[in-house]
Chains A and B, each alone.
Chain A
Amino acid sequence: MPFDYAPAPESRSVVDIKASYGLFIGGEFTDATDGTPFKTISPSSEEVLAEVSEAGPSDVDRAVKAARQAFTGVWSRLGPAERGKYLYRIARIVQERARELAVLESLDNGKPIRESRDVDVPTAAAHFFYYAGWADKLDYAGLGSAPRPLGVAGQIIPWNFPLLMLAWKIAPALATGNTVVLKPAETTPLTALLFAEICQQADLPPGVVNIITGAGDTGQALVEHPDVDKIAFTGSTEVGKAIARTIAGTRKKVTLELGGKAANIVFDDAPIDQAVEGIVNGIFFNQGHVCCAGSRLLVQESVYDEVLDSLRRRLRTLRLGDPLDKNTDIGAINSAAQLARIRELSDIGEAEGAQRWSPPCELPEHGFWFPPTLFTGVSQSSRIAQEEIFGPVLSVLTFRTPDEAVAKANNTPYGLSAGVWTEKGSLILWMASRLRAGVVWANTFNRFDPTSPFGGYKESGFGREGGRQGLAGYVKDRRDV
């Protein structure tokens, strides 16, 4: 007899979404002066959630000025321990408003409430706690003898983990004494705007954090602004390259966290059941909208059948649907544009001759949805083995020996992450030492911690976020060029 789960929706009443939002500049919400407001929708229903301002060039200028003023006037004069205490306050308030933030994130982004509640929000709070503690310990951080902040940081974040990416950017920047102007992604501005309220609740000095909403143009204006000392960007490799070109020859420092096409490598002596969980987590967590997603499964030929059978069986228990339902595993695709791209690449995969499979899945009528999908019979030269799809689509390839696994895993312009599944410790470490990836997960996947540095090799970007290394991008030594 089947055990059906009745709907278990998380209530929306905990969030109070305003009809429209201004920009957060100098500690206040203020109207944009030269931009066109736009709407943000819930991708699971296409319902309009709110109207959001677009920061035009003069708004960007205002924000940078406010950040500069706060930097020279207040933030750089504040004792480091006092800076840390502001960050501790923010961390605490994020914890206090956790449910509100989680529900808002799921509404605006489309991700399951279980993930925003259990991963996104707690990890964001933990980032603020972690970096709060570094504020007055920079002399111990291996950053040189007298680390100094850079000044004003312009930060541009993507739509896949809106609040978490905000935490990854703002926490280390503030801890090291910088002030920031942050632009959230145009499809997911709401948790950043709620974060602005949190800054107010924490009595953060005005101008230390500025949140300006907008799309590509706003981002470009921020990158080009002459009084920004540092650009931190997470997003597509294409835009990352454009930014690197734009700032060439300027005094601006930059860190980039870009795309990936990670190999998740399963050896024949892997703990199979946990490996299957790791494969599923690797590509279907957050609907595959993860730069470090394990989007290529490299399975040793000798266990191919066993792993694939197990994987298909496991995919049948994935629950796709309302992001606010506590039992949902797979939520909505973030936007119509992203859905179109996923569909396009999947069609290409089929056209290239790979075999496509999805478990039976009822897609809701409204909203943007894509079922978890496997492509088998994929080869290294397939486009779906090379290009980042950024959706719940797994490309399956095989290998025979460890050397071959390494070669195939590294055979990509990307280098963000990799997974290795085997019970043999020596093999894990041997593989880890040879994989050209900034993060190697062994017998696990998609684990994040504020103490653990994250970032890529090659076209996946440079610079690290998290850990002691995460401070380096925001300070200069007196001897630095």
Chain B
Amino acid sequence: MSTGTLPEVSRDGVTRDNASLRTFLHGLPGVDQVGAEARAAMLSTRSIKTTSKQWAIDMIISMIDLTTLEGADTPGKVRNLCAKARRPDPGDPATPHVAAVCVYGDLVTTAREALGDSGVRVAAVATAFPSGRASLTVKLADTKEAVAAGADEIDMVIDRGAFLSGRYLQVFEEIVAVKNASAPAHLKVILETGELATYDNVRRAAWLAMLAGGDFIKTSTGKISPAATLPVLLVMLEAVRDFRDSTGRQVGVKPAGGIRTSKDAIRHLVMVNETVGEDWLSPDWFRFGASTLLNDLLLQRQKLATGQYSGPDYITLD
């Protein structure tokens, strides 16, 4: 699990002041938009069939952070979600359970109770999710309460306003503080790539989050569009690959928002496979933030099992 503050192999002096951090981040190789999108498009042509499709579907299910983040969430809603998380398809007990349930901090207790010792973890969004617009004090309190209530994982948001105005050190220090406040839970850092707008910014924010000790980098809150896109994922995967090569530390990746179909999710998995390889092909290192995706996976799973197209009547709502 998490071990603390700055990574062991320190980037000497890089975080001593904002100017140094800026020089480092801006010195990372640029990303050519057209080239990155072309690579993502080419990987999307991979045809995953039969046994590899079966494998992929089960792997993806086991990687899902089943999510509900609505103002209207109630304990009842969360309990139902947890039941689905533990047993996605009552008609087929061999279906794997999902990786985690993702809820707002004040519903962690409910989720914890409902999940018991099923192996499904509890992830809580924190730090004034989704906007991140609150004082550090409030954000840390948000975090600590969620951890105290039993969250295994914290999904925080970075301060995009600070990032876009070049206050990189502030963003860094906030992540470090939240990382400390979330111990022993592990920390996912949401970059909100849709607001970062350029692939260069995505690369820089990814490095920033990893330098600050994030255990996972996550694309989006799912509350704005665009959320996770394949080229953004590509850039983030390249970043975690380069970071491990450079520091020895492996960081996980979570795309979230906008992934609704199995076909789409399989494309994401292919991208992981061909960009960073099998070391990341497990729920410990790759997650999908999704809700409706699960049901489409179950439909596909049923089709592979029976040979017939299935329908919504054969999948539980929650």
Contacts and interface: CB of A to CB of B under 8 A. Distances in A.
A271 B55 contact: no
Contact of A444 (B34, B49, B53): B34
Nearest to A268: B29
Contacts of A423: 30, 32
A274 B48 contact: no
Given A273-B31, A274-B31, A444-B34, A8 B47 contact: yes
Interface string B269-282: 11001100010011
A277 B39 CA distance: 7
Given A6-B50, A118-B45, A327-B47, A273 B282 contact: no
A111 to B, nearest CB: 15
Q: Which of A1, A6, A273, A326 has the most CB of B within 10 A?
A: A273
A443 interface: yes
Contact of A3 (B31, B50, B278): B278
Interface string B253-270: 000000000000000011
B185 to A, nearest CB: 26
A317 B238 CA distance: 14
A274 B35 contact: yes
B46 interface: yes
Interface string A274-297: 100110000000000000000000
Interface string B180-208: 00000000000000000000000000000
A2 B270 CA distance: 11
A4, A272, A444: which has the most chain B beta carbons within 10 Å? Answer: A272
Contacts of B32: 271, 274, 423, 443
Nearest to B53: A6
Contact of A273 (B29, B56, B281): B29
Interface in A174-194: none
A3 B56 contact: yes
B52 interface: yes
Nearest to A280: B39
A147 B184 CA distance: 79
Interface string A91-116: 00000000000000000000000100
A3 B51 contact: no
B38 A8 contact: no
Interface in A414-434: 423
Interface in B9-65: 29-32, 34-36, 38-39, 45-53, 55-56, 59
A8 B49 contact: yes
A3 B39 contact: no
A443 B274 contact: no
Nearest to A303: B29
B274 A273 contact: no
Contacts of B55: 3-4
A270 interface: yes
Contacts of A272: 29
A345 B165 CA distance: 55
Nearest to A3: B273
Contact of B35 (A4, A114, A277): A277
Nearest to B27: A269
A307 to B, nearest CB: 10
Interface in A250-280: 269-274, 277-278
B34 A443 contact: yes
A6 B45 contact: no
A118 B52 CA distance: 23
B31 A4 contact: no
B35 A278 contact: yes
A327 B30 contact: no
A2 B278 CA distance: 5
Contact of B30 (A1, A271, A278, A326): A271
A148 B174 CA distance: 73
Contacts of A2: 278, 281
A236 to B, nearest CB: 30
Most B CB contacts (10 A, CB to CB) among A4, A114, A274, A277 go to A274
B46 A327 contact: yes
Contacts of A278: 35
Contacts of B38: 277, 444
B129 to A, nearest CB: 31
Nearest to A309: B245
A49 to B, nearest CB: 24
Nearest to B28: A272
Contacts of A443: 32, 34-35
A444 B35 contact: yes
A302 B238 CA distance: 21
Interface string A139-150: 000000000000
Contact of B269 (A3, A114, A273): A3
A192 to B, nearest CB: 27
Nearest to B48: A5
Contacts of B281: 1-3
Nearest to B266: A3
Contact of B46 (A5, A269, A270, A274): A5
Contacts of A274: 31-32, 35-36, 39
Contacts of B36: 273-274
A277 B33 CA distance: 13
B51 A6 contact: yes
A443 B31 CA distance: 10
A68 B35 CA distance: 47
Given A6-B50, A8-B49, A273-B29, A1 B278 contact: yes
A118 B46 CA distance: 13
Interface string A404-420: 00000000000000000
Nearest to B41: A118
Q: Which of A3, A269, A277, A443 has the most CB of B within 10 A?
A: A3
Nearest to B38: A277
Contacts of A317: 274
Contacts of B50: 6
B47 A273 contact: no
Contacts of B269: 3
Contacts of B52: 3-6
12 contacts: A1-B281, A3-B281, A6-B52, A269-B30, A271-B30, A271-B31, A273-B39, A273-B238, A274-B36, A277-B35, A423-B32, A444-B38
Given A1-B282, A271-B29, 17 more contacts: A1-B281, A2-B278, A3-B55, A3-B56, A3-B273, A3-B281, A4-B52, A4-B55, A6-B48, A271-B30, A271-B32, A273-B29, A273-B36, A274-B39, A423-B30, A443-B34, A444-B35
Q: Which 3 A-B pairs have the closest CB atoms?
A: A274-B35, A8-B47, A326-B47
Interface of B: 29-32, 34-36, 38-39, 45-53, 55-56, 59, 238, 269-270, 273-274, 278, 281-282
